[in-house]
Amino acid sequence: MDARERLERCGVAVTANRLLVLGALSGAGRPQTPQELLIALPGRMNRVTLYRILELLVERGVAARHNADGRAFRYCLGQGAAGHSHFHCTRCGATRCVDSATLEPGLSRLLSGLPMQVDMAEVTLGGVCESCLNA
Ligand SMILES: [Zn+2]
Ligand SMILES: [Zn+2]
Residue 106: CB atoms within 10 A of its CB come to 10
Identity at 28, one-letter amino acid code: A
The number of the ligand nearest the C-alpha atom of 84 reads 2
Q: What distance in angstroms lies between residue 135's CA and the mean position of ligand 1's atoms?
A: 9
The number of the ligand nearest the C-alpha atom of 124 reads 2
pTM metric for this prediction: 0.74
pLDDT in tens, the chain (135 residues): 788 998 998 899 999 999 999 999 988 878 899 999 999 898 889 999 999 999 999 998 888 887 766 677 889 887 555 567 888 899 998 888 888 888 888 888 988 999 999 877 777 889 999 999 999
Q: Which domains does the chain have, with CATH numbers?
A: 3-134 (1.10.10.10)
Determine the 3-state secondary structure of 92 from DSSP.
coil
